[in-house]
C-alpha cells in the first residue's frame, strides 16, 4: 500500500572556504526542513567547504576544517531526529574523495564517495579527487579522533552502499553521476531502491535548465520511485554562478521545485510523497545478475505509523526562463554576490552608448530590481547587506532607480573621435536607470601621452584617414582605449572619496564572448576590469536581451542603441559621422562569428573540419571559396590574438563556446599563425569543388547542344571511367 514520507532538498548560497557562513546556512536549511516535517534533508555537493575551492583541496587544512564543521553539525540540537546528508571531501587510505556523509542522531550512517567525476567544461575534479571504482562495495573507514569521541564510533561504512530504513531504501548519486549514460540510479532501481538523492554543484549556462530537469524526470520515468535533486546557488568565488533549481520528482513528474534565480541564501524544497516500488520492471529478479547493494540498516522511519492519509502527487508545471530572462537574472545575482562579498561600495562602468556596455548597465539595473523586490518580500539578509554596502543602517531600498544611484556610477569617456549620437545615447540610458553619470573628455590625456612619445622619437603618428600607416592607426586607437582603462580605475578608487563617502567601486567590463574569440579588443583597455558580467554572452543574445529590457523595464533609450551599428569610435569621424564599424573591422558579422565559435569549441573543429561543415550550412549564402576566406581569416585573427585571453577580465560563464583561458578553454596562446598544412587542405577542397563545377558546366553545355545523353568524363573525381547518365 505504501507510506507517506516527507523529504527536503535545498539550494544553498555557499562560499568557498567560508566554513563559518557555510555551517550557518546548512543549519538554517536543516531547521527549515524540520519545521516543515521532513525526516530527510539533502544538501548540495561539497557544501561544507564550498565546491569552488580548486587547489585548496590539496591542503590538509581543508580536510581538518570540514571535520570540525561536521562535528558542530553532529552536536547541534537541530540535527536530531532528522537524517542529514551533507557534502565534504574525505581522505581514505591516502586517497582524496568527494563524498556524501549521511548521519542521524550523532551517528554517522554512511560515507558515500563519488564514483563518476566531472572532468569537462569548467570542471577539473580529477585534478583533486579520485573516483570510487568499486561498485556495490563497502569497507570500513576509521573516523578522526574528534568524531570518535563524539559519536562513540571507531569506524563507519565507506563506499557504494545504500541506506535501509524501517520503511524504505535510499540510494545516493552525486552531480555528474546523473548526467552519465550509466547512472547509478538505474542499477539501484533494479535492486529495489525507492528513493534516489543527488547533491550537485551544477552551474548555470544559457538554455541548460531544461536538460537538467529532463534528466531528473527521466531518472524515475522508467522504473518509478522518488528523486531528490539539491544544487548550490550563487557565486562561490569565481566565474561560475550556480542557479539552484532544487527539485523533487516522483514517477517521472516534478512535484516540488525551488527557484532558479533568487537572492535567498537558503532555499528549502519539501515534499510529502508515498513510497512505492518500481513501476516498469522490464528485468525480472532472475535476469538481474548484478551483485546487490549492501544495505546499511537504520533504526529509523521516514514515515509515521499513524499516517492514514496517502496523498497522490500533483505534477508541477515547470515554466523555463527565456535566454533573455536568464541574462537578466543570472549575471545580476552573480554581481550582487560579488559586490556584497568583496566589501566594495558599488560599481563603475565606462558607458559608451553601444550594445555591450548598455547590456552591462542593464544587468546592474536588473540587480537593483531584484534587490528591491527581495527587501519588499521580507528578505532581512539582503536588507542588511544593502545597508552595509551603502554605509547607511537606516536605508531601505524601494525604487530600483534610486538604489542604482547609490550603487552605480557610469561615465562616458569622449575623444575627438566620439560622436554626439553615442554621447546622447549613453546619457539617456544613464538617466533612465538612475546611475550617477559622468562626462569625461580624454583628449588631453591622449595628447599628453603622444607628446611624450614625440619628445623621445621626434615623430607624431597619424591615423590612416590622415595618411598614417596601419601600425600608426592601430597604436593611436590603442592609446585611447588604454587611457580609458586608467581613468576608469582612477575614478573607481577616488569617486566616492571626492564626495566624502567611504569605500571604492568595482570596475565592470563589457566585452562579449564573440569579440573575445577574435581578440577584437585592446589588451588592457576599457574592457579590462575587475569583473565582466557579459563576457560569456554572445552579441546576438545581448541584442535580444536589450529588446527584453525595453519591454520589461521600459528603458526606451535602448531602442536607438539597438538601431545603431556597433562601433569602437577610435578612428576619426567623417563629417561628424562614424565610419568605423565593428563588423567591418572583424571581417565577419556577429551572427557568423557565433556559428564559428560553436563549431570551434562545442563541435571541436579545426580549420579544415570547420570549412567542411560550413560549405554545407552556408551553401545558400557563400561559395566554397568565400567560406574558405572567412575560415582562414577567423583562425588567423584567433591565433594572433589568443594571448589576450590570458589577461582577459574574469567573466560570468554563460555560454558553452566561451574562449575563457582560465579553466574552460585550455589552448595555446602562441600559434604558428600561417596554419600552412590546415589551410592547404582547405585550398585543395576548394580546388576540387571548382573542378567539379567545371565538369558539371561542360555536361550541361553538351546537353543543351543535344549531344549524346551518355557522356564519359575524363579525369573524373571518383573514377576516370565512370559514366554519368541523365
Q: What is the DSSP string of 55-110?
A: GGGGSHHHHHHHHHHHHHHHH-GGGTTSEEEEEEEEEETTEEEEEEEEEETTEEEE
Buried b (16+ CB within 10 A) or exposed e, 419-456: bebbbebbbbbbebbbbbbbeeebeebbeebbeeeeee
DSSP string covering 270-323: EEEEE----S---S-TTT--SPPPPEEE-S--SS-TT----PPP-PPP--PPPH
41: DSSP letter: E
- For every residue of 193-212, DSSP letters joined together read --EEEEEE--B--TT-HHHH
Long-range contacts of 715-720 (CB under 8 A, 24+ apart): 717/688, 717/691, 717/692
Q: Is 21 helix (H, G, I), strand (E, B) or coil?
A: helix
Do the strands 253-257 and 247-250 form a parallel or antiparallel pair, or are they unpaired? antiparallel
Query: Of 516, 500, 529, which Cα lies nearest the Cα of 338?
Result: 529
Q: Cα(166)–Cα(377) distance, rounded to whole angstroms? A: 41
Show the cell assigned to 626: 568565400
Residue 669 DSSP one-character state: S
- Output the DSSP codes for 225-255: -EEEEEEEEE--SSS--EE---EEEETTEEE
Show which residues are catalytic: 45, 114, 175, 352
The conformation of residue 619, written as its DSSP 8-state character, comes to: T
Nearest partner of 85 among 106, 66, 62, 103, judged by Cα: 103
Q: Write down how long the chain is.
A: 726
| CA–CA distance, 662 with 677 (Å, rounded to integer) | 29
Are the CB atoms for 395 and 387 separated by under 8 Å?
Answer: yes
Cα–Cα nearest to 190, from 89, 283, 268, 69: 283
Cβ proximity of 653 and 205 under 8 Å: yes
Q: Beta strands 162-164 and 169-174: pairing type?
A: antiparallel
E strand intervals along 78-194: 83-92, 95-104, 107-113, 138-142, 155-159, 162-164, 169-174
Taking the CA atoms of 253, 255, 212 and 361 in sequence, report the sign of the dihedral they define. positive
CA distance 318 to 272: 19
Residue with cell 569610435: 569
Amino acid at each position: 500500500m505504501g507510506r507517506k514520507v516527507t523529504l527536503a532538498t535545498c539550494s544553498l548560497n555557499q562560499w568557498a572556504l567560508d566554513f563559518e557562513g557555510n555551517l550557518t546556512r546548512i543549519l538554517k536549511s536543516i531547521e527549515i526542513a524540520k519545521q516543515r516535517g521532513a525526516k530527510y534533508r539533502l544538501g548540495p555537493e561539497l557544501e561544507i567547504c564550498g565546491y569552488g575551492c580548486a587547489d585548496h583541496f590539496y591542503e590538509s587544512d581543508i580536510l581538518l576544517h570540514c571535520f570540525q564543521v561536521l562535528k558542530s553539525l553532529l552536536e547541534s540540537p537541530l540535527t536530531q531526529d532528522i537524517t542529514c546528508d551533507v557534502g565534504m571531501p574525505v581522505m581514505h587510505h591516502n586517497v582524496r574523495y568527494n563524498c556524501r556523509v549521511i548521519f542521524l542522531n550523532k551517528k554517522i550512517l554512511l560515507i558515500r564517495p563519488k564514483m563518476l567525476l566531472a572532468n569537462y567544461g569548467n570542471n577539473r575534479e580529477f585534478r583533486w579527487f579520485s573516483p570510487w571504482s568499486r561498485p556495490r562495495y563497502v569497507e570500513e573507514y576509521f573516523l578522526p579522533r574528534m568524531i570518535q569521541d563524539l559519536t562513540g564510533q571507531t569506524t563507519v561504512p565507506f563506499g557504494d552502499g545504500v541506506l535501509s530504513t524501517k520503511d524504505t531504501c535510499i540510494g545516493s548519486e552525486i552531480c555528474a553521476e546523473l548526467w552519465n549514460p550509466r547512472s547509478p540510479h538505474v542499477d539501484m532501481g533494479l535492486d529495489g531502491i525507492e528513493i534516489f538523492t543527488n547533491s550537485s554543484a551544477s552551474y548555470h549556462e544559457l538554455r541548460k535548465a531544461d536538460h537538467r530537469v529532463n534528466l531528473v524526470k527521466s531518472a524515475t520515468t522508467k522504473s518509478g520511485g522518488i528523486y531528490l535533486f539539491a544544487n548550490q546557488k550563487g557565486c562561490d568565488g569565481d566565474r561560475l554562478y550556480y542557479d539552484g533549481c532544487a527539485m523533487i520528482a516522483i514517477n517521472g513528474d516534478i512535484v516540488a521545485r525551488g527557484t532558479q534565480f533568487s537572492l535567498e541564501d537558503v532555499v528549502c524544497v519539501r515534499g510529502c510523497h508515498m513510497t512505492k516500488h518500481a513501476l516498469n520492471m522490464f528485468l525480472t529478479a532472475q535476469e538481474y545478475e548484478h551483485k546487490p547493494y549492501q544495505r546499511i540498516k537504520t533504526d529509523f522511519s521516514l514515515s509515521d505509523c499513524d499516517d492514514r492519509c496517502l496523498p497522490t502527487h500533483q505534477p508541477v508545471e515547470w515554466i523555463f526562463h527565456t535566454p533573455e530572462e536568464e541574462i537578466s537574472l543570472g549575471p545580476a545575482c552573480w554581481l550582487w554576490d560579488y559586490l556584497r562579498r568583496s566589501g566594495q561600495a558599488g560599481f563603475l562602468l565606462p558607458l559608451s552608448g553601444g550594445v555591450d556596455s548598455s547590456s552591462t548597465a542593464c544587468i546592474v539595473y536588473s540587480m537593483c530590481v531584484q534587490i528591491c523586490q527581495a527587501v519588499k518580500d521580507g528578505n532581512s539578509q539582503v536588507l542588511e547587506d544593502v545597508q552595509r554596502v551603502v554605509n547607511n543602517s537606516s536605508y531601505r531600498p524601494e525604487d530600483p532607480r534610486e538604489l542604482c544611484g547609490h550603487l552605480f556610477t557610469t561615465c562616458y569617456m569622449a575623444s575627438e573621435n566620439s560622436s554626439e549620437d553615442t554621447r546622447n545615447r549613453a546619457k539617456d540610458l544613464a538617466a533612465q536607470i538612475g546611475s550617477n553619470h559622468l562626462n569625461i573628455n580624454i583628449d588631453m590625456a591622449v595628447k599628453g601621452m603622444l607628446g611624450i612619445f614625440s619628445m623621445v622619437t621626434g615623430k607624431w603618428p597619424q591615423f590612416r584617414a590622415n595618411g598614417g600607416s596601419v601600425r600608426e592607426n592601430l597604436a593611436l586607437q590603442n592609446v585611447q582605449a588604454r587611457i580609458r582603462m586608467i581613468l576608469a580605475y582612477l575614478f573607481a578608487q577616488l569617486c566616492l572619496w571626492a564626495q566624502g563617502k567611504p569605500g571604492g567601486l568595482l570596475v565592470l567590463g563589457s566585452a562579449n564572448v564573440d569579440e573575445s574569440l577574435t581578440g577584437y579588443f585592446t589588451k588592457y583597455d576599457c574592457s579590462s576590469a575587475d569583473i565582466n558580467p557579459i563576457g560569456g554572452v554572445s552579441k546576438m543574445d545581448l541584442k535580444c536581451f536589450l529588446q527584453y529590457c525595453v519591454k520589461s523595464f521600459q528603458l526606451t533609450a535602448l531602442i536607438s542603441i539597438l538601431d545603431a551599428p556597433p562601433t569602437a569610435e577610435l578612428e576619426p569621424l567623417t563629417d561628424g559621422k562614424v565610419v568605423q564599424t565593428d563588423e567591418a573591422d572583424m571581417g565577419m558579422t556577429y551572427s557568423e562569428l557565433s556559428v564559428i565559435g560553436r563549431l570551434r569549441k562545442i563541435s571541436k573543429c579545426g580549420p579544415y573540419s570547420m570549412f567542411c561543415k560550413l560549405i554545407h550550412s552556408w551553401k545558400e549564402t557563400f561559395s566554397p571559396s568565400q567560406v574558405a576566406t572567412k575560415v582562414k581569416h577567423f583562425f588567423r585573427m584567433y591565433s594572433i590574438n589568443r594571448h589576450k585571453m590570458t589577461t582577459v577580465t574574469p567573466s560570468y560563464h554563460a555560454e558553452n563556446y566561451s574562449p575563457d583561458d582560465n579553466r574552460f578553454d585550455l589552448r595555446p596562446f602562441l600559434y604558428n599563425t600561417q596554419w600552412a598544412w590546415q589551410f592547404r587542405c582547405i585550398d585543395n577542397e576548394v580546388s576540387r569543388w571548382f573542378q567539379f563545377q567545371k565538369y558539371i558546366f561542360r555536361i550541361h553545355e553538351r546537353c543543351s547542344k543535344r549531344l549524346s545523353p551518355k557522356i564519359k568524363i575524363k579525369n573524373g573525381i571518383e573514377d576516370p571511367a565512370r559514366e554519368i547518365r541523365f
